[in-house]
Amino acid sequence: MSAAIDTLVLKLVLTPLLIAGASLAGRRWGQSIGGWLVGLPLTSGPVAFFLAVERGAGFAAAAAVGSLAGAIAEAAFCLAYGWTATRGWVAATVTATLAFAVVALALQWLAWPSVALAATVGAVLVVTLRLLPRLAGGAAPPSPPRWDLPARMVLTTALVIVLTGLAPTLGPRLSGVLATFPVYAAILTVFAHRAGPAPAVRVLRGLLLGLFSFGAFFLVLGAVIEDLGLAGGFAAATAAALVVQAASLAFVVRPGPARA
């Protein structure tokens, strides 16, 4: 009982703090940086941690493979949103969510080794970055309302609690894939879309670059958590993610050609 209460407290404290920090940094340095930051496993990482605490290292390792595959579904989300962004945020969000759902469902039958899956994720991210449209223009984003940051924190924390609660029913693979739904990135993108489709696409481009570190995190976590344990596995995965994230920063700040 005490362990369950401690875990719930961690969920209620750690998750909103992570999301609030990424949100404030994104506001300070721009949409691309905001998307790049949420490419880190800020939601799926806590989900994986709590799955490991509650269900054991073996369950968490299998869920990590599912989360790694989920990066492909996130790429589908980004591409679908980017190519429908000029139709408005509602149509783009619906289309992108459907794309994520279809790809995530298809990934349930994908049983590749982790290394091959990671290579596929990397290739998919590179291709998606090439295919994502570069839109010119976009007004300065409006100042966020007071409820914006608390709403993001509550929504993301609720997602973590729901997913970890449903894990026994969903199983490790589906829990891992669903944990990768870009709920936070979607919120950032929709908010940026208020200033036009171009800022929204910039968030998505940053997200795609951040997903390389996401892939590194879950590749390492799935490979070592059963051998190194909870602390060692997450430490190694976090170190790998930070190294890859730092390497990708140059691509985030580098400007590219835009089209009207």
**pLDDT tens-digit series, residues 136-190:** 655 555 666 677 778 778 877 787 777 667 766 777 666 666 667 777 778 778 8
Taking the domains of the chain in order of start, what are their residue ranges? 27-253
Report pLDDT digits (tens) over 77-110. Answer: 999 999 999 999 999 999 999 999 899 888 877 6
CA 130 centroid distance within chain: 19
The structure tokens listed for 1 are 């009982």
The 10 Å CB-count burial string (b at 16+, else e) for 112-134 is eebeebbebbbebbeebbeebbe
Asked whether the whole model's pTM tops 0.85, one would answer no
Residues with Cβ < 8 Å from 64, sequence gap 6 or more? 48, 176, 218, 219, 221, 222, 225
Q: What is the pLDDT of residues 186-241, one digit of tens each?
A: 877 887 887 788 888 888 988 898 899 989 999 999 889 988 988 899 999 999 98
Which tokens sit at 114? 């982790």
Annotate 12-50 with b (16+ C-beta within 10 A) or e (fewer).
eebbbebbeebbeebbeebbbbbbbbbbbbbbbbbbbbb
- 56 CB-near residues (< 8 Å, 6+ apart): none
**Do residues 156 and 183 touch, judged by C-beta distance below 8 A?**
yes
Distance CA 31, CA 214 (A): 19
